Amino acid sequence: MLKKLFQSLRSPKRRTQQLRSTPEVLNSSQHSLQRAQFSRYAVNIVERLQNAGYQAYLVGGCVRDMLLNITPKDFDVATSATPEQVRAEFRNARIIGRRFKLVHIHFGREIIEVATFRANHPQNDEEEDSNQSSRNESGRILRDNVYGTLEEDAQRRDFTINALYYDPVSERILDYANGVHDIRNRLLRLIGDPQQRYQEDPVRMLRAVRFAAKLNFGIEKHTAAPIRELAPMLREIPSARLFEEVLKLFLSGNASDTFEMLVDLELFDPLFPASAEALEHNPTYTHTLISEALRNTDLRIKQGKPVTPAFLFAALLWPALPARVEYLQDRGMPAIPAMQEAAHELIAEQCQRIAIPKRFTMPIREIWDMQERLPRRSGKRADMLLDNPRFRAGYDFLLLRESAGEETNGLGKWWTDYQDANDSGRRDMIRDLSNAKEDGTGPAPRKRRRTSGAKRKRSAAADE
């Protein structure tokens, strides 16, 4: 993946991707798409809108993925009808969004998203209507409800491979930006001037990485060139929006390649600043742990197994945690409270960049907390930990740490054997653990700090 990316960056020349005023039209004999491949609800929406006198097409990712023999996750429709006109045609429609008005049409659990053709924003601030469109000082689009023609809609889309319009009635593809050519050459190319397009919406840099990793495409050299320079603009993006984008990046089955590209294009730092610092100071361990976690995530997704964002974020942030815990312990704080305090601070800082919901931050802290509790196995503690709802996640995380090279004195294997043992075997393991501590072959016991109260008692006894 990175080799392909580097090849795409060789030429220093720069040019702007030009769009045709009239599209290249591909008839049914010139492409592989058939209307039966698409959602019947989406096809029905296109037909009804066309019968009502509007232009309407299937557009974007569903057309792109079908041409690549990938099953689309959803189906989008683009139309000349305004959101209000679409809602008037469908009783099961609902207008959503303020920054970018859309219509969701519900068919049971399936939702078809319908967007009105958009136009580019006025370049002159005096022509800009703040109710329809607005930008901030750096050029980022804050509101995007400037409606336009089909040609204008194609021009303002981000990548050429997403500017393909399929008419299921005539079974034709309208291609305004050589998108079919780029699909055949497995190349990701921005429409328009890359620097301006990234300034309009810095999240497009993350989308470039996501599509390149998902589709195994190279990033065209002019498209990739400004990314490192503009990467800090991601700090301006609302943290809630970045949370959704990060889930798309790492839960699409290509997280490992995505991580490599984010690091190479310097996009990882604006998303995870503390982890990026750990990657700089302890590169081998940090890279190994995160990469291993992401490979496991990709494997589980391919196997159809559930994946929790809590475990994913726990792995992405963990390399930044031990140094903070050690700092608090050096100042006299006991191990478990130090872990809890450091975790609280790290997660609070991270939520300033990516708004991780509480339903995930709580399990993250519990997974980390288990790392401090798992070594404490004497007496009944082992059985109590085994009954803890977070034991499995904590145990898996322990194995992940060991696979990254952390030395735990065989703790992972001990817990693996303990889970497989019967009651008698577990008692023997606890007894062996106690005997090892007594004869000095086991890990040294933790030092317990003396309290000032205990010192006063000993002083009084000495005086007597």
User: Same structural domain for residues 177 and 276?
Assistant: no
Helix (H, G, I), strand (E, B) or coil at 104: strand
To the query of whether residue 158 is one of the catalytic residues in this protein, the response is yes
Between the CA atoms of 39, 44, 47 and 50, what dihedral angle is there, to the nearest 10 degrees?
Answer: -100
User: Same structural domain for residues 63 and 176?
Assistant: yes
CA distance 157 to 79: 14
Q: What is the pLDDT of residue 243?
A: 97
User: Same structural domain for residues 25 and 165?
Assistant: yes
Question: Which of these is catalytic: 65, 144, 153, 158?
Answer: 158
Burial 418-445 (b: 16+ CB within 10 A, else e): beeeeeeebeebbeebeeeeeeeeeeee
Q: What is the pLDDT of residue 57?
A: 97
In a domain, residue 205? The reply is no
Decide: 297 and 255 in contact? Cβ < 8 Å: yes
User: Same structural domain for residues 68 and 174?
Assistant: yes
Per-residue pLDDT of the chain (464 residues; tens, 9 = 90+): 555 554 444 443 344 445 556 889 999 999 999 999 999 999 999 999 999 999 999 999 999 999 999 999 899 999 999 999 999 999 999 999 877 789 999 999 999 999 999 987 555 544 444 444 444 455 454 555 689 999 999 988 999 999 999 999 999 999 999 999 999 999 999 999 999 999 999 999 999 999 999 999 999 999 999 999 999 999 999 999 999 999 999 999 999 999 999 999 999 999 999 999 999 999 999 999 999 999 999 999 999 999 999 999 999 999 999 999 999 999 999 988 999 999 999 999 999 999 999 999 999 999 999 999 999 998 899 999 999 999 999 999 999 999 999 999 999 999 999 999 999 999 999 998 887 765 544 544 444 344 444 444 444 444 54
CA distance 286 to 105: 44
In a domain, residue 281? The reply is yes
To the query of whether residue 423 is one of the catalytic residues in this protein, the response is no
User: Same structural domain for residues 34 and 169?
Assistant: yes
Tell me which of 130, 164, 185 is where a domain ends.
185
Burial level of 103, CB count in 10 A (0-12/13-18/19+)?
buried
To the query of whether residue 125 is one of the catalytic residues in this protein, the response is no
In a domain, residue 238? The reply is no
Say how many domains are in the chain. Answer: 2
CATH number, domain with residue 394: 1.10.3090.10
CA distance 130 to 165: 29
- Alpha-carbon separation of residue 424 from 303, 411, 427, 431 (angstroms): 36, 20, 5, 11
Question: Which of these is catalytic: 76, 144, 257, 269?
Answer: 76
In a domain, residue 395? The reply is yes
Q: What is the pLDDT of residue 128?
A: 45
Q: What is the pLDDT of residue 100?
A: 79
Q: What is the pLDDT of residue 446?
A: 44
Q: What is the pLDDT of residue 5?
A: 53
The model's pTM: 0.83
User: Same structural domain for residues 166 and 287?
Assistant: no
User: Same structural domain for residues 276 and 181?
Assistant: no
CATH number, domain with residue 66: 3.30.460.10
Q: What is the pLDDT of residue 443?
A: 47
Question: Which of these is catalytic: 74, 167, 201, 264?
Answer: 74
In a domain, residue 365? The reply is yes
User: Same structural domain for residues 154 and 302?
Assistant: no
Q: Residue 381: which domain range?
A: 272-436
User: Same structural domain for residues 171 and 282?
Assistant: no
In a domain, residue 40? The reply is yes
In a domain, residue 237? The reply is no
